[in-house]
C-alpha cells in the first residue's frame, strides 16, 4: 500500500478578514484530508492590516482542524505585508518531510520567501497567484511589481512545478514574466447549502428561509438584491450604486443589501457607506457589515439576485457561493467565470459600464420566473463543478503527477 501524500499549504493568513481567497485553503485542506492526504497548513497570526489584534491562536504548534493540521506563526518583523521569520525557519527545517508545497499568493513576502526556501530545499511547489498576475492588478504599484518580479517572483515562477489558476480566463490573461511553467486550471470549491434548520416553537418556528428578511425587516414583496464581498474599489460599487439609483428612479421595486467590510481600506468602506446613506437608495438599502456563518447563509438563501460587477476577479468565490445556494447572479465580464455563468444560463453578464449593468439588472428584476429558472441552473452547475470532493480529486491527481515526475528525476 502506497504511503499517503504529505502536502504543505502555505498562505499568508487564513483570517476571515481577508475573505474568500484565504478561506479557500481551509476548504481545500479539509477535502484533501477526507481523501487520505496528510495536510499541514503554514500561516501567520495576521488578522487585518490596520489596528486589529492578531489572531488568538497557539503559535508554532500543530492545531488539529477538520482532519488536517494548522501551524500558526507570529507575523513579524513587519505586519502590514505579512511576514514571518519563524514560519520560514520551520519550513527550512522540515521541508524534507513533505512531498509538495502548495503556496497561495504572489507578491506577498512570506509566500515569496517560502517559494525560495522550497526551491533551495528541492521541495516541489505549486503557486496560486490569487489574481495577482492579472494585468489590471499588476497596474497597481506597477514599477515596484516589475522590480519585485525581476528579482523574486520571476525565479519563483520559473522554478514552480505548476501555476494554479482557478479559471481558464485567469490563465489566459495572466502575465508570466517570460516563464513557461505548466498551468493547472482547477476551480475553487464551495460547500453545498445545508437544509433549512427549523427553530424551536419559542422562536416562532422560523426556518432558515426568511431569516434574513425577518432580521433586517426587509419586506417580502421587494426582491432582495445582494452584494456580498469585500468593499474595495475593484468590486465595481461605483457602477452598481448609480445603476441601482437609476432603477429606483424608474419605479422598479427592490431592496438592496450591502454586506461586507474592508479592514484593509476602512476609509473606502466609510466613503461607500456615506454615499449610500446620502443616496435615494438609502430607504431601500440595508448595510449589514461583514457577515459570516448563519447570517451569511441566510442572506444567500433569501437573496433573489446576487450582484458583483468587479473590474477584475480571478474566480469570484462569493459568486460560486450564491450559485450553490440557488441564487441567480449578475456579474461583470471581468469576473473570470463569466463564460461558465453565461453558458449555463445561471445569471446575467454585463460589461463594466453603468448603462449595460442597469439594463442587466432591469431584465433580471422584471421577471421572477426567469430569476427562478436561472437560479436553478446556477445551483445545478455549481453542485457539479464547484464541489470540494471533485476539486480535491483533481488536485490530488495534479499533486501525484508532480511528485512522480520529481521522483523520476532523483
Q: Over the stretch 228-254, which tens digit does the pLDDT of each residue have?
A: 999 999 999 999 999 999 999 999 999
pLDDT the model gives residue 265: 80
Q: Over the stretch 126-154, which tens digit does the pLDDT of each residue have?
A: 999 998 898 888 888 889 988 888 899 99
Confidence tier at 79 by pLDDT (50, 70, 90)? low
Distance from the first to the final alpha carbon of the chain: 22
**All cell numbers assigned to 18:** 481577508
Domain spanning 6-189+387-409: CATH superfamily: Glycogen Phosphorylase B; (3.40.50.2000)
CA-CA distances (angstroms) from residue 39 to 9, 60, 64, 70, 95? 7, 16, 10, 8, 13
pLDDT the model gives residue 203: 45
pLDDT the model gives residue 204: 44
Q: Over the stretch 376-391, which tens digit does the pLDDT of each residue have?
A: 999 999 999 999 988 9
Distance in angstroms (rounded) separating the CA atoms of residues 317 and 14: 15
Mean pLDDT score of the chain: 91
DSSP label at 404? H
Is the Cβ–Cβ distance between 350 and 333 less than 8 Å? yes
User: What does pTM read for this prediction?
Assistant: 0.86
For 201-385, CATH number?
3.40.50.2000
| DSSP helix, strand, coil percent of the chain (3-state; round to 5) | 45, 15, 35
On the question of pLDDT at 180 being above 80, the answer is: yes
Domain with CATH 3.40.50.2000 in the chain: 6-189+387-409, 201-385
Average pLDDT over residues 291-320: 93
Would you put residue 60 in left (φ > 0), alpha (ψ -120 to 50) or beta?
Answer: left
Is the Cβ–Cβ distance between 230 and 261 less than 8 Å? yes
CA-CA distances (angstroms) from residue 85 to 22, 59, 101, 206? 20, 13, 18, 50
Please spell the DSSP secondary structure of 114-156, one letter per residue: HHHHHHHTT--EEEE-TTTTSHHHHTTTHHHHHHHIIIIIHHH
Is the Cβ–Cβ distance between 208 and 301 less than 8 Å? yes
Confidence tier at 410 by pLDDT (50, 70, 90)? low
Please spell the DSSP secondary structure of 390-403, one letter per residue: HHHHHHHHHHHHHH
Please classify residue 51 by burial: count the beta carbons closer than 10 Å to its beta carbon, then call 0-12 exposed, 13-18 middle and 19+ buried. exposed
Distance in angstroms (rounded) separating the CA atoms of residues 83 and 35: 31
DSSP label at 281? G
Q: 363, 69, 119: which is closest to 57 by C-alpha?
A: 69
**All cell numbers assigned to 305:** 439576485
Residue 307: strand pairing partners:
330
Q: 39, 52, 31, 51: which is closest to 4 by C-alpha?
A: 39
**What residues contact residue 296 under an 8 Å CB cut-off, 6+ apart?**
228, 259
Amino acid at each position: 500500500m502506497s504511503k499517503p501524500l504529505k502536502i504543505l499549504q502555505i498562505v499568508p493568513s487564513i483570517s476571515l478578514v481577508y475573505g474568500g481567497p484565504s478561506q479557500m485553503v481551509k476548504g481545500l485542506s479539509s477535502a484533501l484530508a477526507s481523501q487520505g492526504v496528510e495536510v499541514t497548513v503554514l500561516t501567520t497570526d495576521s488578522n487585518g492590516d490596520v489596528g486589529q489584534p492578531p489572531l488568538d491562536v497557539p503559535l508554532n504548534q500543530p492545531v488539529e482542524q477538520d482532519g488536517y493540521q494548522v501551524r500558526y506563526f507570529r507575523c513579524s518583523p513587519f505586519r502590514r505585508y505579512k511576514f514571518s521569520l519563524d514560519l520560514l525557519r520551520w519550513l527550512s527545517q522540515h521541508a524534507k518531510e513533505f512531498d509538495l508545497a502548495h503556496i497561495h499568493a504572489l507578491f506577498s513576502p512570506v509566500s515569496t520567501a517560502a517559494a525560495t526556501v522550497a526551491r533551495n530545499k528541492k521541495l516541489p511547489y505549486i503557486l496560486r497567484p490569487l489574481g495577482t498576475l492579472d494585468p489590471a492588478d499588476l497596474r497597481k504599484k506597477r514599477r515596484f511589481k516589475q522590480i519585485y518580479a525581476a528579482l523574486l517572483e520571476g525565479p519563483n515562477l520559473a522554478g514552480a512545478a505548476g501555476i494554479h489558476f482557478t479559471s481558464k480566463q485567469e490563465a489566459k490573461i495572466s502575465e508570466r514574466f517570460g516563464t513557461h511553467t505548466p498551468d493547472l486550471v482547477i476551480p475553487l470549491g464551495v460547500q453545498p447549502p445545508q437544509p433549512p434548520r427549523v427553530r424551536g416553537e419559542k422562536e416562532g418556528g422560523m426556518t432558515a428561509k426568511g431569516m434574513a428578511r425577518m432580521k433586517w425587516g426587509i419586506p417580502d414583496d421587494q426582491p432582495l438584491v445582494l452584494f456580498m464581498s469585500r468593499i474595495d474599489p475593484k468590486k465595481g460599487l461605483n457602477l452598481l450604486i448609480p445603476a441601482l439609483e437609476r432603477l429606483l428612479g424608474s419605479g422598479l421595486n427592490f431592496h438592496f443589501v450591502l454586506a461586507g467590510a474592508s479592514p484593509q481600506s476602512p476609509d473606502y468602506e466609510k466613503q461607500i457607506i456615506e454615499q449610500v446613506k446620502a443616496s435615494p437608495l438609502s430607504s431601500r438599502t440595508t448595510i449589514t457589515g461583514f457577515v459570516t456563518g448563519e447570517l451569511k447563509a441566510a442572506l444567500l438563501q433569501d437573496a433573489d439576485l446576487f450582484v458583483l460587477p468587479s473590474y477584475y476577479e480571478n474566480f469570484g468565490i462569493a459568486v460560486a457561493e450564491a450559485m450553490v445556494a440557488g441564487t441567480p447572479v449578475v456579474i461583470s465580464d471581468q469576473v473570470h467565470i463569466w463564460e461558465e455563468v453565461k453558458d449555463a444560463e445561471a445569471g446575467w453578464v454585463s460589461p463594466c459600464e453603468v448603462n449595460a449593468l442597469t439594463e442587466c439588472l432591469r431584465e433580471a428584476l422584471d421577471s421572477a420566473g426567469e430569476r427562478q429558472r436561472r437560479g436553478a441552473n446556477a445551483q445545478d452547475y455549481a453542485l457539479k463543478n464547484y464541489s470540494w470532493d471533485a476539486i480535491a480529486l483533481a488536485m490530488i491527481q495534479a499533486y501525484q503527477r508532480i511528485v512522480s515526475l520529481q521522483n523520476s528525476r532523483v
